């Protein structure tokens, strides 16, 4: 193998142990850099000795290029083939993860149901204007499952404000309903339902039957759902057994939330860097040099965390349904920036309860019918989403909510840039339908109705119009 070859490490598994070791050690060095207080100072004082004291044998220069801002800038223009080997391999590993996430958003999470697909597309595009680059990391999964009601961990920063754990779904009682729910959602949404997790505002390992539920999930979708656990060290032997089995069956990235330095040390003691190659560690304790808290949910009221107000504060990643098996409920949600009106960074459009499988099926279909339109009827008044600014340009029009992100529409071929301006003027005058706008512009400027509908369709797909259910209030 050429020294320059980049291999997949996650899926498929890489059989080159030395290659995996280098990537895993680079990952652990980054984890130490971001989470272990004092590591950076010790590294700068004695790089090789410090790495060796943590059992790492990768070269110090690679760690500097990957972790230290100034060194990273220094090496920014270095051709890829001239970078240290560990840096090349670690960047290949990151690329593998990012491209998998992009495929999830653009391909795997797209529902087969036409109205659901169109609605999810509009929500995803709305989030570009509302959340800016934060939207890059939101996959807009169409459905997810909760096996419990509430969460036992009680994080003071919980972005979804999970209440205390009050109920768990037990496999022995709920197996038939569970399998029925999974099969039905697969029938309606298609394979995209298999991108669900089996947690949301819950801790997956709170449920003693999590393994049994996810075994069924695998039988139906051929996928082991992604696990994010803040309780990974509660029973390390359970976590280890689950991970080993899950990764043997279906390799993907899982995550541990690290809630304290003590937990970080326990994780490092329990797992070698190679054993955690498929597990991201999320630094969620204040002593960590680079901790991560979104300003959503309980974090908004927690002054000790020093999280800043800004665009894109949400941890919600669902544009679709949350099915709670313990409570027998279904919520329809989609991400938004956390605010007084939406403290958890999600718009909760509906929440309803069901009793058994037939009732679930009825409810599920009725929520799709009620909230998800394949397209906006041309005789329905169109209203621009409030809070979005616009600028008429020589080429067409630009929409933006903050200066961070702009959505640009250009005139092309026989479509004049000024048509965008004219359509916008009509929309701003309020209450007009697509037919009204096309008729008026045909009379006033001789515009082809087909061109007007084309421009309106572009705005609709971009999520710039309020959904019908939002205008009813």
Distances (CA, A) of 156 to 54, 207, 304, 386: 31, 21, 10, 32
Nearer to ligand SF4, 110 or 155 (CB): 155
Nearer to ligand SF4, 109 or 165 (CB): 165
258 forms beta bridges with 283
Write the interaction track for ligand SF4 spanning residues 112-151; mark x where CB under 6 A is met and - where it is not. ---------------------------------------x
Cα–Cα distance, 429 to 432 (Å, whole number):
8
Cα–Cα distance, 63 to 42 (Å, whole number):
13
Using CB under 6 A as the binding rule, whether residue 455 contacts ligand SF4 is answered as no
φ, ψ of residue 342 to 5 degrees: the values are -130, 75
Cα–Cα distance, 8 to 12 (Å, whole number):
6
Nearer to ligand SF4, 212 or 255 (CB): 255
Q: Which residue stretch of 43-51, 83-91, 152-160, 392-400 sits at the interface with ligand SF4 (rule: CB under 6 A)?
A: 152-160
Using alpha carbons, select from 329, 9, 19 the residue that is nearest to residue 147. Answer: 329
| CB-based burial label for 240 (10 Å; 0-12, 13-18, 19+) | middle
Nearer to ligand SF4, 20 or 317 (CB): 317
Cα–Cα distance, 181 to 360 (Å, whole number):
8
DSSP-based three-state secondary structure for 408: strand
Write the interaction track for ligand SF4 spanning residues 153-182; mark x where CB under 6 A is met and - where it is not. xxx--x-x-x--------------------
Cα–Cα distance, 107 to 380 (Å, whole number):
31
- Residue by residue, DSSP assigns 140-191 as -EEEEEESEESBSS--TT-TT---B--EE--HHHHHHHHHHHHHHHHHHHGG
Least separation in angstroms between CB 251 and ligand SF4 = 24
Q: Is the peptide bond before 12 cis (omega within 30 degrees of 0)?
A: yes
Nearer to ligand SF4, 87 or 147 (CB): 147
Least separation in angstroms between CB 162 and ligand SF4 = 4
φ, ψ of residue 67 to 5 degrees: the values are -110, -35
Cα–Cα distance, 248 to 278 (Å, whole number):
12
Least separation in angstroms between CB 411 and ligand SF4 = 47
Nearer to ligand SF4, 26 or 160 (CB): 160
Q: Which of the residues 192 through 211 are near ligand SF4 (CB under 6 A)?
A: 201-203
Write the interaction track for ligand SF4 spanning residues 12-51; mark x where CB under 6 A is met and - where it is not. ----------------------------------------
Nearer to ligand SF4, 104 or 230 (CB): 230
Q: Any alpha helices (H) in 190-335, and if so which ranges?
A: 210-221, 236-249, 261-270
Write the interaction track for ligand SF4 spanning residues 344-383; mark x where CB under 6 A is met and - where it is not. ----------------------------------------
Select the residue interacting with ligand SF4 from 131, 168, 189, 230 (CB under 6 A). Answer: 230
Nearer to ligand SF4, 62 or 232 (CB): 232
CA angle, 55 then 60 then 61, to 5°:
155
Nearer to ligand SF4, 50 or 229 (CB): 229
Q: How many residues belong to the site for ligand SF4 (CB under 6 A)?
A: 11
Tally helices (H) and strands (E) across the chain: 16, 12
Least separation in angstroms between CB 206 and ligand SF4 = 8
Nearer to ligand SF4, 170 or 234 (CB): 234
Least separation in angstroms between CB 154 and ligand SF4 = 5
Least separation in angstroms between CB 263 and ligand SF4 = 12
Which residues are at the interface with ligand SF4 (CB under 6 A)?
A: 151, 153-155, 158, 160, 162, 201-203, 230
């Amino acid at each position: 193998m050429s020294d320059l070859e980049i291999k997949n490490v996650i899926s498929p598994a890489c059989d080159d142990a030395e290659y995996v070791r280098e990537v895993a050690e680079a990952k652990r060095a980054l984890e130490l850099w971001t989470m272990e207080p004092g590591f950076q100072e010790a590294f700068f004082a004695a790089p090789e000795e410090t790495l060796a004291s943590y059992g790492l044998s990768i070269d110090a220069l690679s760690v500097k290029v990957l972790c230290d801002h100034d060194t990273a800038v220094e090496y920014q223009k270095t051709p890829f083939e001239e970078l240290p080997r560990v840096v090349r391999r670690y960047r290949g590993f990151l690329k593998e993860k990012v491209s998998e996430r992009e495929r999830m958003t653009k391909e795997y999470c797209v529902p087969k149901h036409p109205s659901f697909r169109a609605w999810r597309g509009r929500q995803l595009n709305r989030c570009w204007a509302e959340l800016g680059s934060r939207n890059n990391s939101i996959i807009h999964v169409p459905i997810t499952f909760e096996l419990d009601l509430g969460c036992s961990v009680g994080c003071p920063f919980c972005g979804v404000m999970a209440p205390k754990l009050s109920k768990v779904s037990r496999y022995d009682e709920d197996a038939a309903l569970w399998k029925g729910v999974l099969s039905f959602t697969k029938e309606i949404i298609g394979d995209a339902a298999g991108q669900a997790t089996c947690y949301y505002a819950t801790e997956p390992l709170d449920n003693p039957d999590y393994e049994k539920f996810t075994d069924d999930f695998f039988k139906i979708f051929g996928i082991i759902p992604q696990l994010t656990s803040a309780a990974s060290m509660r029973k390390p032997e359970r976590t280890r057994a689950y991970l080993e089995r899950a990764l043997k069956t279906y390799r993907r990235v899982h995550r541990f939330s690290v809630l304290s330095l003590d937990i970080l040390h326990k994780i490092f003691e329990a797992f070698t860097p190679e054993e955690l190659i498929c597990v991201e560690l999320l630094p969620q304790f204040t002593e960590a040099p680079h901790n991560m808290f979104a300003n959503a949910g309980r974090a908004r009221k927690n002054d000790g965390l020093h999280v800043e107000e800004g665009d894109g504060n949400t941890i919600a990643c669902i544009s679709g349904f949350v099915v709670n098996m313990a409570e027998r409920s279904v919520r329809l949600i989609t991400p938004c920036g956390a605010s007084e009106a939406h403290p958890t960074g999600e718009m909760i459009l509906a929440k309803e309860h069901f009793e058994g499988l037939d009732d679930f099926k009825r409810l599920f279909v009725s929520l799709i019918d009620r909230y998800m339109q394949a397209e906006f009827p041309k005789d329905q008044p169109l209203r621009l989403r409030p809070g979005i600014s616009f600028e008429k340009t020589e080429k067409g029009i630009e929409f933006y909510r903050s200066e961070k992100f702009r959505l640009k529409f250009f005139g092309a071929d026989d479509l004049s840039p000024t048509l965008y301006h004219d359509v916008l003027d009509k929309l701003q005058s309020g209450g007009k339908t697509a037919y009204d706008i096309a008729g008026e512009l045909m009379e006033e400027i001789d515009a082809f109705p087909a061109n007007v509908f084309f421009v309106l369709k572009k705005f609709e797909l971009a999520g710039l119009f309020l959904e019908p259910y939002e205008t009813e209030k």
